[in-house]
Amino acid sequence: MAQQTISEVCKAFWQGRHGNVSLIAALAAVPVALAITGVVEITDTANARNRLQDAADAGALAGAGQLAIATVGQTQVGQTAVTVADQSISQSGSGGQTTAPVFTAAVDTHAGTVTVTGQSTHKALIGFMGFGDMTLSVTATAENVQRVPLCILQTDKSGGIKVQGSARIRATGCAVHANADIKVASGALIQAEAAQAVGTVSGPVEPAGRSGALPIDDPFANMDLSSKKLCNVVETSLLPIQLGSGNMSLAPGLHCLPITVIGTGTLFLQPGDHYFLAPLIMTDNSTLRGDDVSLIFGIGNVFNFSKNATVRLTARKSGPNAGFLIATSRDNVGTFSIASGNVSQLLGTIYIPSANLVVDTPGNVAQDSAWSVIVAKTLTLKQNPVLTINTNYSGSGVPVPEGVGPLKSAPKLSH
């Protein structure tokens, strides 16, 4: 073997060392590349999830916005929510490695919410070292926040609101809703900020009414309207109370005998809860007055305000019946009648969900009330009365029960 020169030995050494360095560098680059790929993978997945969440949020808010006073049907609300979510994701893109998402919407009319769920599959950039396809799921719930105060609610699916003759409902600052139909005679009129019916709206309504609305449930379905006492045999066997003149002051509590006020008699209701297990009749030139009161009628018992009777009442200001002026047990299917043109103040909520309210008078009704709310099985106006529903909720001293009256101003995400 020929002896190598020193320069040849050095050359061979450096050539071998260069090869080893390249191999080492290549091997070291593998975990670095995997780490970079992992960061890209995590970032891409997070961005895809954010885009999916933003689209679901947009859809939920759009659906909740349409629930304002239930102006459209439940199916249409859900369709709107899904459509807006699809449009949002198409504008922003679902991400290069993510399949087109599928959105679904659920409308809860009782809670007043729209929930949008979105789902898609994110494709992994590499398919080993723990990386794989991932299912992305997001949910957004928006609260239905009504813009228009609800002041008249007709509850029964087979009932309705009828405005006959030349009668008028003047509710210019709030909404009139029927879970059945609204029928207005050609010479009559409803003026309201919004008027709508689950069935149809016919006749003169300003602005135009909406048919095919979403039903509105009874907002006070869980309210306890039962009397804490029952009438005994001795009480019910006594003669009815009849007042023809002078004044009579009635303490709160249980009233077991029919009360009729005629002539020029005046009945004062003392502050508190009055449970009527017998009828209350005001007629002729009689007067009924009461401040901070609630009148709760048991099964089969109603009021009748007729002829020239004057009625001025304001609802309870505190306690479990705060905000309620007149109410009935839910098994009361009677007819409450306002047939006097001097029923000028009914400040509070009239809640007779299974009973009928008939306004049959040539005069004005409730025009002096700061605010009024009516929840009844049916509402019928005859002759040519003007039923005025004011909306001066603040400053009246009487709180508005939750579920009617003024509400929030815009839909919002609740979670």
Q: Would you state the pLDDT for residue 356?
A: 98
Instruction: Quote the CA–CA distance of 250 and 274 in Å, as a whole number.
Output: 9
pLDDT digits (tens, 9 = 90+) for 223-238: 988 777 788 866 666 7
Within 179-286, strands assigned E span 181-184, 189-197, 201-202, 205-206, 241-243, 247-250, 253-255, 259-261, 266-269, 272-276, 280-282
Go through 82-92 and write b for each residue having 16 or more CB atoms within 10 A of its CB, e for each that does not: bebbbebbeee
Instruction: Quote the CA–CA distance of 266 and 244 in Å, as a whole number.
Output: 9
Delimit the domains of the chain by residue range. 7-143, 150-408
Task: Rounding to the nearest 10 degrees, give the CA dihedral for residues 300, 152, 114, 81.
Answer: 140
10 has pLDDT over 80? no
pLDDT digits (tens, 9 = 90+) for 71-114: 666 788 888 899 999 998 888 765 556 788 999 999 887 677 89
Q: Would you state the pLDDT for residue 128?
A: 47
Burial of 215 (0-12, 13-18, 19+ CB in 10 A): middle
17 has pLDDT over 60? no
200 band by pLDDT with thresholds 50, 70 and 90:
very high
Average pLDDT of the chain to the nearest whole number: 86
Give the helix/strand (H/E) hosting 378: strand 372-382
285 has pLDDT over 90? yes
| DSSP designation for 233 | H
pTM of the model: 0.73
- Segment 331-342 shows an average pLDDT of 96
pLDDT digits (tens, 9 = 90+) for 351-384: 999 999 999 998 899 999 999 999 999 999 999 9
Q: Any bridge partners for residue 118, and if so which?
A: 103, 138
pLDDT digits (tens, 9 = 90+) for 23-45: 555 555 556 555 565 566 677 77
